[in-house]
A and B are shown apart, each in its own frame.
Chain A
């Protein structure tokens, strides 16, 4: 599989996916029960 960071598009898509993952971690784990 090609490294997504080889292209600008792959880098932006990776950043958007990472944003979603980190947001879900914040919402469902760090802030769970607060």
Chain B
């Protein structure tokens, strides 16, 4: 039994469940809840106590997921990202995961900081940030569907 890949896979799954679980929470629960909460004046509770904690686990579990995935591929990471036939299936999954990580740190997190008042922003900037963060989050939810397909089905990497 090889311990390193087993442990890397275990960490990849745990961090991945945390990351994608929170992504689905944002898209399926929090977005709709914030809309209703804004209407009855209770949104501050979510913005102050829930969203910052959820975002903390969300962005760092994304990093851990990517690093554990990259270490699992090890010397085959390059072959996967270049979509060499023997690693093309997992390579597509790896590309989708990498794009999603980029969205988390470059689009979602900086815009959420403006929305939640962690960074100074005018009302116009906040409205724009809300739109960008929402679309980036929805993009990640969309990309998670093929990403999980190519990660879970083992179309290529399990055969080799």
Name the prevailing secondary structure of the B interface residues. helix
Within B13-48, which residues are at the interface with A (CB < 8 Å)? 27-28
Within B91-143, which residues are at the interface with A (CB < 8 Å)? 92, 135, 138-139, 141-143
Total interface residues on B, CB under 8 Å, equals 20
Within A2-34, which residues are at the interface with B (CB < 8 Å)? 3, 5-6, 8, 11-12, 14-16, 18-19, 22-23, 26, 30-31, 34
* Interface bits B56-89 vs A (CB < 8 Å: 1, else 0): 0000000000000000000000000001010011
Beta-carbon contact of A5 and B85 below 8 Å? no
Beta-carbon contact of A15 and B141 below 8 Å? yes
Name the prevailing secondary structure of the A interface residues. helix
Beta-carbon contact of B146 and A15 below 8 Å? yes
- B141 partner residues in chain A, CB cutoff 8 A: 8, 11-12, 15
Instruction: Name which residue of chain A comes closest to B27, CB basis.
Output: A8
- A26 partner residues in chain B, CB cutoff 8 A: 88-89, 92, 155
* Bound-state Cα–Cα, A23 to B153, Å: 11
Assuming the A-B contacts A5-B138, A34-B85, are A15 and B143 also in contact, with contact meaning beta carbons closer than 8 angstroms in the complex? Answer: yes
Q: Chain B interface (Cβ within 8 Å of chain A)?
A: 27-28, 83, 85, 88-89, 92, 135, 138-139, 141-146, 149-150, 155-156
